[in-house]
Chain A
Amino acid sequence: QVQLQESGPGLVKPSETLSLTCTVSGDSINTNYFTWIRQSPGKGLEWIGYVYYSGTTKSNPSLESRVSLSIDTSKNQFSLRLNAVTAADTAIYYCARQSGGAALDYWGPGTLVTVSS
C-alpha cells in the first residue's frame, strides 16, 4: 500500500526557510511525479509544484522565486524548501503522488506549518 508522510518543523520564523520532506513507502519514487500542495483558510488549496525522479521540477509561478524542489531516490524521499516565509505561508502542507491521469491519488496526512516569531 502506498503511503506518504510529511516531516519537518511546525514553526518557522518570518524571513526564514521552511523545509519539509516527504517519505514514500509502498512505491518506488522512480515511477511517478510527486507533488506539494498547501491549504489555508484564506487561499484554499494551492498547488506548489511537482518533482520527477530525473530531477525535473515545475513550480507555481506565484511561488517560483522562493521555492526549491528536490528528490532523493536513494531514500525514496522528496523535499520542499520555501524561502523568505511570511505569515501568508502559514498552512497545512501536503505531499501527494501524481497518477497517470494528472490527478493526485495518494496524499500524506498533511503537516501544519505556522510562520510566527
Chain B
Amino acid sequence: DIQMTQSPSSVSASVGDRVTITCRASQESSSWVSWYQQKPGTAPKLLIYAAYTKESGVPSRFSGSASGTDFTLTINNLQPEDFATYFCQQANSFPWTFGQGTKVEIK
C-alpha cells in the first residue's frame, strides 16, 4: 500500500496567515492526489484533485502542488471558515489511502 505521511498533524494560525500542509507518498507515483476539508460532524469536502486542480467553487486562496513524492496544500490569507481538518488521498494505486489529517486551529 502507498502510505501518505501527512504533516503537521496540527497547526495554530491566525486569520490572514498562510498555511502549508504536506503529504509524502511512500513511493513514486502519478499525481492522482486529492485534498479534502472536513469540519466537525460533516463529511469531507473535495478541494483539490489531480494534485493541482481546484474543484469548482473552491476559493482561489486554496492551491495544490507536487514535487516528486511530496504533495502540498497551501491556504493563503486564512479565513475564519478555513479552520478545519484537512486530508490528502492518493488514487495512484490500490488500495486508495488517506493521510492522517492536519487540524488547522485558531491561534
Contacts and interface: CB of A to CB of B under 8 A. Distances in A.
Interface of A: 44-47, 58, 60-62, 94, 96, 99, 101-105, 107-110
A103 B44 contact: no
Contacts, number: 59
Contacts of B98: 44-47
A82 B42 CA distance: 23
Given A45-B87, A58-B94, A62-B95, A104 B46 contact: yes
A11 B45 CA distance: 26
B54 to A, nearest CB: 11
Nearest to A110: B43
Nearest to B92: A102
A94 B97 contact: no
A60 to B, nearest CB: 4
A102 B32 contact: yes
